[in-house]
Structures are given as C-alpha cells and as structure tokens.
Amino acid sequence: MRAIICEQYGGPEVLELVDEVPVPQPGPNGVLVRVHATSVNPLDWKLRAGYLAPLWNLRFPVIWGADFSGVVEEVGRGVTLWKPGDEVHGFKNGKVAQTFRGTYAEYAVTPESTLARKPANISHEEAAALPVAAMTAWQAVVEQGKVKAGSRVLIQAAAGGKTRYTPGENYDQTRQNTDV
C-alpha cells in the first residue's frame, strides 16, 4: 500500500510518500479500513515535530495521522458492529508498542469502538475532519467543564473547528457521544 512515512521528527519536509508498505492485518477486535480521506490536526504536526518524543520512545519509520474516513474492508472475528462495505469515520490512536501506525496511508486498522457511521450527506473529506475536533469539544465542555443541560456557556473566539461541535441549546447530557 502507499503511505506517508517519517524516518525522523521534524517539519513537513520529513514526510515521504512510499509505495511498498505492508497492508496492516486486523486482529480479533480490529477493523481494516480503506482510507478515503484523512486530515491534519494540531495533534498531528505536534507529534511529527517531536513534542511527545520525551514521553514516547518511538522506533522509526512511523505513519502519522489520527482522523480518517473510509470503507470497511475486513473485520476481525470478534467485531460485531461493522461489516465490509460500511462507510465509517473515526479517530485512530496510532501508538502501537514503540511505533506509530496512523492514517496517512491507504489502509488503517483500528478497534471497532473508535468508529462511527459516516453520515450519508457528507463527503469522506468532510467526515475525516470531524473526529479530533468533535472529541476535543466534547471533552472540554462536557467532561472537563461539567456542563449540564440548561447551562449557559460563553465560547469566546469561536473560529476553530472545535466550537462547531460544542453542545448547543438542544444538548441532552444523557446522550452518549456516538458521533466520533
């Protein structure tokens, strides 16, 4: 498969397109997704720049990337939520042991619980831009901010992706976050 790999930490110049990376194989609870689109978040460039290097002793080469949208190709024997052909999007934590295998590739394997059905009315490109922004907004407002139904919240400087996904006036705190 084709993938964008990095042999070292650095700026965009360390990204390299390669044609011969083995397609990952799903384990019992894994879902192999043919990636149609991925996105670049602050998380991605901070990882690539090495900001987490003191905490993660990674072996290179790595494949960065976290958000993605695509089509399920294969599922592990323990997977019950997805089947080949399902259009999905989600967040992949690419850290595996001492390496990182993310979504800057034609295929990615991720646990079934990290996927959501791609809405039919948006493109793969749009769906790939959702997970990190939506998850970050949810964590900030609901989990960290402890916002309850009926609360009033001022979101200042609301020009970024995260503010698009903050709970609005119809927020129901009992609803599970199934969109990311």
Q: Which residue has the tokens 């690419």?
A: 94
Please check whether residues 68 and 97 belong to one and the same domain. Answer: yes
| pLDDT tens column, 96-120 | 778 889 999 999 999 999 999 999 9
Interior angle at CA 84, CA 79 and CA 85, nearest 5: 140
**Would the pLDDT of 76 be above 90?**
yes
Please check whether residues 123 and 146 belong to one and the same domain. Answer: no
Rg for the chain (alpha carbons), in Å?
17
The number of folded domains in the chain is 2
What tokens appear for 69 in the block?
């949208």
Ranges 17-21, 52-56, 131-135, 160-164, most confident:
17-21
Which 3 state secondary structure label does DSSP give 134?
A: helix
Interior angle at CA 117, CA 76 and CA 80, nearest 5: 30
Please check whether residues 155 and 68 belong to one and the same domain. Answer: no
For 146, the domain range is 131-165
Please check whether residues 103 and 149 belong to one and the same domain. Answer: no
Q: Does the residue 37 lie in any domain?
A: yes
Task: Between 63 and 132, name the one with better pLDDT.
Answer: 63
**Would the pLDDT of 175 be above 80?**
no
pTM of the model: 0.80
Please check whether residues 17 and 105 belong to one and the same domain. Answer: yes
- CATH number at 17 reads 3.90.180.10
Please check whether residues 11 and 82 belong to one and the same domain. Answer: yes
Please check whether residues 138 and 111 belong to one and the same domain. Answer: no
